[in-house]
Amino acid sequence: MTAAATRPTAAPAPHALAPLALAAVGVSIAAQIAYPLAGPGVRDTVTVVVLASAVVAMAADALVALGVRRGLVVVVGVPVLAFAAEWSGTHTGFPFGTYSYAADRLHPQIAGVPIWISAAWLIGVWAVWRVAGIVVGDRALPRVALATVGLVGWDLYLDPQMVADDLWAWRSTDAGLPGMEQIPLTNFAGWALVGVVAMTLIEICRRGGVPMDTDPNRRVPVAALVWVVWTWIGSAFAQAFLLHDGDLRSGLGYGIVVMGVLAVPALVVAARPRRRVVRAGTMSA
């Protein structure tokens, strides 16, 4: 019997999940396109498809970028952290302000918090952290700072739309930005705080020793970049022309500007020609 014959079968490489990440992002985008066309009784189902497919996409991308063990820490840890923050927010008002979820929407729920909402934090946190890496590189503080801006930019789109869809409601409806008074400023401060904590977890896993061939800074993170750019442009278009008869336009500029702080430079960097360098028998971009 040869050595090759006795060698144990290797586990599937995490890179095999990269096509899954991109395909799942495509499903999420298709579901978002269908959302304005769906009737009120169907939109919750479409919302779950949007979230579930994007969660799969970012989970797969995390496993590719960080490896299986560290990736699983992030894939499980971020939603658990988010659930704790959402539970605290709905029961104590910290860190977002006082709000509540619709009891008859987005099941299953635990203690009044929809599980899909907690899982959705993985989508935004991971995607903006990945994309920030191609702008500022491997520097932890600038990366977390830029990613946090992108995350808050996402919520500047997300929160007004979900409130208009009656998925959750705020106790205070006149403490927000001009044109977006129904969303209190404490909400965005809470998003920034939870985002920083979640991305610190990612950085701890990242610093634990990511193999160079899976280093997220060595290539453009296509799935995450597609999600960020689509969310930035697609949300603006939908809220301006397709949803709630244009009622969301009054606060639309906030999301365009704030999320654009991440999306625009990321697109510029991603569009640059990438030179291939051969060094010590290896090739890198």
Residue 9 has pLDDT above 80, yes or no: no
Rounded CA-CA distance 13/225 in Å is 22
Mean pLDDT of 98-107: 93
Confidence of residue 54 (pLDDT cuts 50, 70, 90): very high
Mean pLDDT of all residues in 216-243: 89
d(C-alpha 226, C-alpha 23), whole Å: 11
Mean pLDDT, range 57-66, rounded to an integer: 95
For position 218, what pLDDT does the model report? 52
φ, ψ of residue 177 to 5 degrees: the values are -70, 155
Mean pLDDT of the region 1-5: 45
pLDDT digits (tens, 9 = 90+) for 123-165: 999 999 999 999 999 899 999 999 999 999 999 999 999 999 9
Point out the least confidently predicted range of 68-77, 133-142, 170-179, 215-224: 215-224
- Cβ atoms of 96 and 87 within 8 Å: the answer is no
* Percent with pLDDT over 70 in the chain: 87
Per this entry, what is the length of the chain?
285
User: For residues 63-78, b (16+ Cβ closer than 10 Å) or e, as one string?
Assistant: bbbbbbebbebbbebb
Reported confidence tier of residue 3, pLDDT bands at 50, 70, 90:
very low
Residue with the bigger pLDDT between 245 and 159: it is 159
Check residue 91 and give its pLDDT. Answer: 96
User: What is the radius of gyration, based on Cα positions, of the chain?
Assistant: 20
Summarised one tens digit per residue, pLDDT across range 182-223 is 999 999 999 999 999 999 999 999 886 544 334 444 578 999
Rounded CA-CA distance 74/163 in Å is 28
Could you give the 3-state DSSP secondary structure of residue 182? coil
Given this model, what pLDDT does residue 195 score?
Answer: 98
Q: Which pLDDT value is given to residue 13?
A: 53
Q: How far apart are CA 126 and CA 2, in angstroms?
A: 44
